[in-house]
Amino acid sequence: MKKLLDKWISISLIKRIIGGLALGIILGLLVPKASGIALFGSVFVGALKAIAPLLVFVLVISSLCHSGKSHGGVIKTVIILYMFSTILASVIAVFTSKLFPVTLTLTEGFEEMSSPGSIGDVFNSLLMNIVENPITSLTKANYVGILAWAVVIGIACRHAKESTKDMLVDISNGLSKVVTWIINFAPFGIMGLVFDTVSNNGMSVFKEYGKLLMLLVGTMLFIYFVTNPILVFWCTHKNPYPLIFRCLKKSALTAFFTRSSAANIPINMKECEDMGLDRDTYSVTIPLGATINMDGAAITITVMTLAAANTLGITVDIPSAILLSILAALSACGASGVAGGSLLLIPMACSLFGIPNDVAMQVVGIGFIIGVIQDSVETALNSSSDLLLSASAEFRQWRKEGREITY
C-alpha cells in the first residue's frame, strides 16, 4: 500500500489532475446518473475550505510574531498591484462591452433576492467583518476578520516567549503538511467536480448565452494574458509568460473547478513555497488577495450591467462608463463580504443608469444560469492572479537586491 501511495505521489500533480479531468468528463457523459462520483468533489472542496481559515490564521500570527526584517515594502507593492489590476479590469470591461455590445433575453424570477443598496452598504459589510468575533470569523471563513485579528494578535505576540513562538511555527508547519496531503488527492476531487458539472449541465449553457459568455470569458482571458504580463514585466524585467503559464497550471486549473478562492488559498501558498518565496510575505498577501483582488468580479459587474443597459436601450456616455468602472472596482473588492458575491452587486451598479431593481435581479438570474462557466473562469482569474502578483512583487524586490529570478 505504501509503495502504491509513493508511486501515486511521484507522478506530477498536473498530470494526475489532467487524468482526473478527463475521467470526470468521460464518466459525466457515460454515466450521468452515478451521483456518488460527485461526492469526491464535494469532499475535496470541503476539506480545502475547512483547513484554509485555520491555516491563514496561524500562518499570519506565526509570521508577525517573529521579529525580523520588515516585509512591508513587498506587501505594499502587492496591494498596489491588486488594486490597479482590479480597476484596469473594470475599465477594459467597459471597452470590450462597447466594442461587442450584448443584449439579454430577460426572464422572470430572482426578484425575491436581496442585494446591497449602495456602495456604503458594501463597505459597511466590510467594516463589520473586520471587527467580527475571531472565532466566528474562523467558523464562517470570514477572511477579512481572520486577517485583521491575526495581524493584531501576531503583533501583540512579538514579545511572547521563544517557546510560544516555536509552538506557533510547529503548528503552522503541521497545518501546511495537512494541506499537502489534501492537495495530493486533488485529482479525485477534480474528477468529482467535473463529473457534477458535465452530468448536470452538459452543453446547454453555451447554446443560449454563448455571446455573453464569450464576452465575459474573452475579457477575463485578455486581462490574464495581456495586461497581467505587463505588470509582471514591470516587476521582473523578464519574459513574463513562463510565470503566467506556471500560475495558470498550478492555480487557475484547480480554482476553475473548485469555484472558490478560499479553497484555493492553500494551493497558492504551497506554490509560493515551491517558488522559494518568503513565507512571512505570502502568508499575508495570498489570503488578502482572496479578499480584495477581484479582477473577475469587476469584469462580471461591468459587463452584466452594460448588457442590461443595452437591452433597455440606455445609452451609456463616457463619464458614466468611467464612474461605473470605479464603482465596479470598489464593489468587487468587497464582493467576498457579500452573500452571492459579484452577481448580487450588479443591481447596485445598474442603479447608476436608473435600471429598476426587478430588471436588475433578472440579470442576476441570468448570471446564476451561466455561473457554471462564468463563476469558474472568474475564480480562476482571481485566484491565479493572487499567486501571480504576489510572486511578481517579491521578484521585484529580488531584482532590486541583485538576486537571480528563476521561475
pLDDT digits (tens, 9 = 90+) for 136-160: 988 887 777 887 898 888 888 888 8
User: Identity (one letter) of the amino acid at 264?
Assistant: N
Confidence of residue 386 (pLDDT cuts 50, 70, 90): very high
pLDDT of residue 78: 92
Among 200, 209, 195, residue whose Cα is nearest residue 374:
209
Confidence of residue 186 (pLDDT cuts 50, 70, 90): confident
Confidence of residue 107 (pLDDT cuts 50, 70, 90): low
pLDDT at 366 over 90: no
pLDDT averaged over every residue in the chain: 82
pLDDT of residue 239: 94
pLDDT of residue 316: 77
Q: Domain 2-401 class?
A: mainly alpha
Q: pLDDT tens across 205-248, in order? A: 556 678 899 999 999 999 999 999 999 999 999 999 999 999 99
pLDDT of residue 122: 56
Look at the pTM and tell me if it is higher than 0.85: no
Q: Which of 118-132, 304-318, 363-377 has the highest mean pLDDT?
A: 304-318
Confidence of residue 125 (pLDDT cuts 50, 70, 90): low
**Mean pLDDT of the 330-347 span:** 63
